[in-house]
Chain A
């Protein structure tokens, strides 16, 4: 049976996270967005710990709670409503965890996952993209050579990486062969924080998602035991495609939250702002725009929920997940662009919420694969 209604527990969770997003995340995020890029703000790590957010992504047997993708999408939407950058920090932790859950050994799960339940707040990092480009990730310059018995030596760099320098552990992709065997040589490794040979480049200054610091990680002759290899040798390609396929729907929820924030702001403003004696919302030109955005928001959320429901039911979700990410991130761009227009000069101030939403929305089209890449994936599934 198809149900579009949330359960009582899900509604309570949504309400709780909505107030965290409004009262805690949003005020800090506006301040951080306006400042210089730095490490993850300590107050955000505290929110992660106090609200036990990482428990939603870590299964019960490792200290978390039952992993349900639809429930997680509700969490993500509210975090995205509060701040897409903060939600991005959380999403990268989810991706690193997801890879370990898909392919990791019981020992790896027991060793690394509980680190994220640290009472001071913790994050993990997902390191796939390299300087040469993120759309084609079928080959890497980063190498991992089997050296002394039972150890790999990793060399190369990854960029741009969210949570670089702040993470408890890093899931890093590297080529373990000569490049001749193609996808069969791609592997993922777990690198604990402060492993000798790991360095971080300067923090990037970027137009949007400024709250989520990004930097380059460098690996210089980094020695890692082969017990930190995730999954059977040669499984790295399958690991990251599945991780990202799942992650895309969740990034879709962040975008729904972001688009909702812009739409609500525009509706509120349009009802209050009077021009020639009446609220601008009563003009068809504005009312229709708001009606379209509200309709598309519902559609985007349903796409996300459908993709997540299929994940919960272990059904194929590749195309739906990409559709959810594509539609929701494009909607975020439309909603913030229309929102800025409706707010007029009030939206053009800095710092202002609409300005931040607009810049964050632009970046949301790029992370987890650009809109073109989503279309390419969907097309192969038709």
Chain B
């Protein structure tokens, strides 16, 4: 994918995540909706000062718009899928059901116990 198409797609995604319309963002940026649409399509290049303002409005660091898709899309999806499958296991369900009635302090103790068990396994004891 061409670099500015990638930047444009990220911009669109960040805008949509905030539920902001093209019209709203264009108004806040002081550009026409057509220009914003061209930025999102990668047909018009976004320069540093523009992206700086966009990153502030959309509350994302500049690097968010430049990272390769693998970094924050595919990998995140893979991580999310892994976690989802793990939580579906019978053993995890049991833990979660039992932990439901515990106080926050008791839950904290359970977590500490799990961490202690892990550190014993790795031999990394304090």
Residues of A that sit less than 8 Å from B by CB: 102-103, 138, 180-184, 186, 231-235, 237-239, 241-242, 245, 316, 318, 380-382
* Among B43, B61, B66, residue most surrounded by chain A Cβ atoms (within 10 Å): B66
Residue contact B68 to A238, C-beta cutoff 8 Å: no
Shortest C-beta distance, B54 to chain A (Å), equals 12
Residue contact B66 to A232, C-beta cutoff 8 Å: no
Residue contact A245 to B48, C-beta cutoff 8 Å: no
B51 at the interface (CB under 8 A from A): yes
Residue contact A242 to B68, C-beta cutoff 8 Å: no
Residue contact B48 to A184, C-beta cutoff 8 Å: no
User: Could you give 24 example pairs across A and B, Cβ below 8 Å?
Assistant: A102-B47, A102-B48, A102-B49, A181-B63, A181-B68, A182-B66, A182-B67, A182-B68, A183-B7, A183-B66, A184-B62, A184-B67, A184-B71, A231-B48, A234-B61, A234-B66, A238-B46, A238-B48, A241-B45, A241-B47, A242-B47, A316-B35, A380-B43, A382-B43
Residue contact A180 to B62, C-beta cutoff 8 Å: no
B88 at the interface (CB under 8 A from A): no
Residue contact A180 to B44, C-beta cutoff 8 Å: no
Besides A180-B71, A232-B52, A237-B66, 16 other A-B contacts (C-beta < 8 A): A102-B49, A181-B63, A181-B66, A181-B68, A181-B71, A182-B71, A183-B3, A183-B7, A183-B67, A184-B68, A234-B61, A235-B62, A238-B48, A241-B45, A318-B45, A380-B43
Residue of B nearest to A232 (CB): B62
* Residues of chain B contacted by A237 (CB below 8 angstroms): 3, 66
* Residues of chain B contacted by A186 (CB below 8 angstroms): 66
* Residues of chain B contacted by A180 (CB below 8 angstroms): 68, 70-71
* Residues of chain B contacted by A182 (CB below 8 angstroms): 66-68, 71
Of residues 16 to 47 in B, which have CB atoms within 8 Å of A's CB atoms? 35, 42-47
Shortest C-beta distance, B12 to chain A (Å), equals 17
**In-complex Cβ contact of A238 among B42, B47, B61, B71 (8 A):** B47
Residue of A nearest to B47 (CB): A242
* Residues of chain A contacted by B49 (CB below 8 angstroms): 102
B120 at the interface (CB under 8 A from A): no
Give A239 to B42 CA distance when docked, in angstroms. 17
Known: A232-B62, A233-B63, A380-B42. A239 touches B48 (CB 8 A): yes
* Residues of chain A contacted by B100 (CB below 8 angstroms): none
Give A184 to B51 CA distance when docked, in angstroms. 13
Residue contact B63 to A381, C-beta cutoff 8 Å: no
Give A239 to B43 CA distance when docked, in angstroms. 18
Chain B facing A: main interface SS: helix
* Residues of chain B contacted by A245 (CB below 8 angstroms): 45
B2 at the interface (CB under 8 A from A): yes
Residue contact B48 to A183, C-beta cutoff 8 Å: no
Give A318 to B104 CA distance when docked, in angstroms. 57
Shortest C-beta distance, B70 to chain A (Å), equals 7
Give A234 to B71 CA distance when docked, in angstroms. 14
* Residues of chain B contacted by A381 (CB below 8 angstroms): 43-44
Shortest 8 CB-CB contacts between residues of A and residues of B = A182-B68, A234-B63, A184-B66, A184-B63, A183-B66, A184-B67, A238-B48, A242-B47
**In-complex Cβ contact of A138 among B3, B45, B52 (8 A):** B3
Residue contact B71 to A103, C-beta cutoff 8 Å: no
Give A173 to B11 CA distance when docked, in angstroms. 25
**In-complex Cβ contact of A380 among B4, B51, B52, B68 (8 A):** B4
* Residues of chain B contacted by A234 (CB below 8 angstroms): 61-63, 66
Give A241 to B2 CA distance when docked, in angstroms. 13
Per-residue 0/1 for B108-119: is the Cβ within 8 Å of any A Cβ (1 yes, 0 no)? 000000000000
* Residues of chain B contacted by A138 (CB below 8 angstroms): 3
* Residues of chain A contacted by B70 (CB below 8 angstroms): 180
Known: A232-B62, A235-B48. A181 touches B43 (CB 8 A): no
Known: A238-B46, A238-B47, A318-B44. A380 touches B71 (CB 8 A): no
* Residues of chain B contacted by A382 (CB below 8 angstroms): 43
* Among B35, B47, B62, residue most surrounded by chain A Cβ atoms (within 10 Å): B47
Residue contact B2 to A380, C-beta cutoff 8 Å: yes
Give A380 to B45 CA distance when docked, in angstroms. 10
Residue contact A183 to B62, C-beta cutoff 8 Å: no
Of residues 58 to 80 in B, which have CB atoms within 8 Å of A's CB atoms? 61-64, 66-68, 70-71
* Residues of chain A contacted by B68 (CB below 8 angstroms): 180-184
* Residues of chain A contacted by B48 (CB below 8 angstroms): 102-103, 231, 235, 238-239, 242
Give A138 to B66 CA distance when docked, in angstroms. 11
* Residues of chain B contacted by A380 (CB below 8 angstroms): 2, 4, 42-43
* Residues of chain A contacted by B71 (CB below 8 angstroms): 180-182, 184
